[in-house]
Amino acid sequence: MSRDRVYNFSAGPSVLPESALESARRDLPDYKGCGISVMEMSHRSPMFQEIFDTTKARLKTVLRVPDSHEILLLQGGATLQFAAIPMNLMEGAAADYAVTGHFSNRAAKEAEKYGAVHIACSSADSGFDRIPTQERLQLSPDAKYFYYCANNTIYGTEWQYVPETAAPLVCDMSSDILSKPVDVSRFGLIYAGAQKNMAPAGLTVVIIDKALAGRELPYTPQIMSYKTLIESDSMLNTPPCWCIYMLGLVLEWLEGQGGVEGMEQIKRERARRVYEVLDNSRLYIPHAEIGSRSDMNITFRTGDKELDAEFVKGAAARGLLNLKGHKVAGGMRASLYNAMPMEGVDALTDYMKEFEAKHHV
Residue 239 · residue 75 · CB < 8 Å: yes
Distance CA(347)–CA(333), nearest Å, equals 15
According to the binding rule CB under 6 A, does residue 77 interact with ligand PLP?
yes
Closest to ligand PLP by CB, 23 or 293:
293
Instruction: Map the footprint of ligand PLP across residues 213-252, applying CB under 6 A.
Output: none
Q: How far is the CB of 226 from ligand PLP (least distance, A)?
A: 18
According to the binding rule CB under 6 A, does residue 79 interact with ligand PLP?
yes
Residue 96 · residue 147 · CB < 8 Å: yes
Instruction: Map the footprint of ligand PLP across residues 141-170, applying CB under 6 A.
Output: 149, 153
Instruction: Map the footprint of ligand PLP across residues 260-299, applying CB under 6 A.
Output: none
Candidate list 7, 8, 9, 12; residue touching ligand PLP; CB under 6 A: 12
Closest to ligand PLP by CB, 19 or 79:
79
Q: How does strand 94-99 pair with strand 116-122? A: parallel
According to the binding rule CB under 6 A, does residue 103 interact with ligand PLP?
yes
Closest to ligand PLP by CB, 78 or 213:
78
Closest to ligand PLP by CB, 56 or 333:
333
Beta bridge partners of 187: 169
Closest to ligand PLP by CB, 41 or 296:
296
According to the binding rule CB under 6 A, does residue 191 interact with ligand PLP?
no
Q: How far is the CB of 148 from ligand PLP (least distance, A)?
A: 10
The stretches of the chain forming alpha helices (DSSP H) are: 18-27, 46-62, 77-89, 102-111, 226-231, 241-256, 259-279, 305-317, 342-359
Candidate list 174, 197, 234, 292; residue touching ligand PLP; CB under 6 A: 174
Beta bridge partners of 209: 69
Of the candidates 154, 200, 264, 181, which has an alpha carbon nearest to the alpha carbon of residue 17? 200
Distance CA(349)–CA(355), nearest Å, equals 10
According to the binding rule CB under 6 A, does residue 175 interact with ligand PLP?
yes
Closest to ligand PLP by CB, 51 or 296:
296
Q: How does strand 187-193 pair with strand 169-172? A: parallel
According to the binding rule CB under 6 A, does residue 333 interact with ligand PLP?
no
Residue 43 CA: distances (Å) to CA of 39, 46, 102, 238, 253: 10, 8, 35, 6, 24
Which residues form the interface with ligand PLP (CB under 6 A)? 12, 77-79, 103, 149, 153, 172, 174-175, 193, 196
